[in-house]
Amino acid sequence: MKVVVSYYASLREERGHGQETVNIEPISVSELYKQLNLTLPIEIIRFAVNNQFVPAGEMLSDGDRVAFIPPVAGG
């Protein structure tokens, strides 16, 4: 199945783009994050699916729009 993933802040830089479509097996949103091998520790990331915050164990469905939101504090 396919999901559209959006990246913010340093995740965007690490991934090289702000959005991509990925092909995945039915997994949870945090498992997807782990598979992407991103360096920001998973404990500090908030997950959103279809513009709603969801818990780490939220299972993904075909066509979901996933966003990984890291905290930002600059000012």
Partner 1 sequence: MGTGWLSYPQLLVAKMRFTIQPEVILSHVEACPDAGGFVCFEGRVRNEHLGKDVVALEYEAHPEMAIAQGEQLLAEAIERFRLIDAVCVHRVGRLDVGELAVKIDVSAAHRREAFAGCEFIIDELKKRVPIWKKEHYADGNSGWIGIQEQPVTVDSVYDRQMRLPEVGVEGQNRLRQARVLVVGAGGLGCAAIPYLVAAGVGTVGICDGERVHVSNLHRQPMYGPGDIGLLKVDRVAVACGRLSPFVQVNAYPEQLTVENAEGMVKGYDIVIDGTDNFRTKFVLNRTCTSLGKPLIVAGIYKFDGQLLVIVPRGSGGCLRCVWPTEPTDGRIGTCADVGVLGFVPGLFGVQQAAEAIKLILGLPSAATSNVVVQNLLDGTQVLLPRAVSPDCPICSGIATVSD
**Least gap, CB of 10 to partner 1 (angstroms):** 6
How does 49-75 read in b/e, with b if 16+ C-beta sit within 10 Å? beeeebeeebebeeebebbbbbeeeee
Binding residues (CB under 8 A) for partner 1: these are 6, 8-10, 12-13, 18, 40-41, 43-44, 46, 48, 51-53, 67, 69-75
How many angstroms separate the CA atoms of 66 and 19, rounded? Answer: 10
With respect to partner 1, which residue has the nearer C-beta, 32 or 67?
67
With respect to partner 1, which residue has the nearer C-beta, 3 or 67?
67
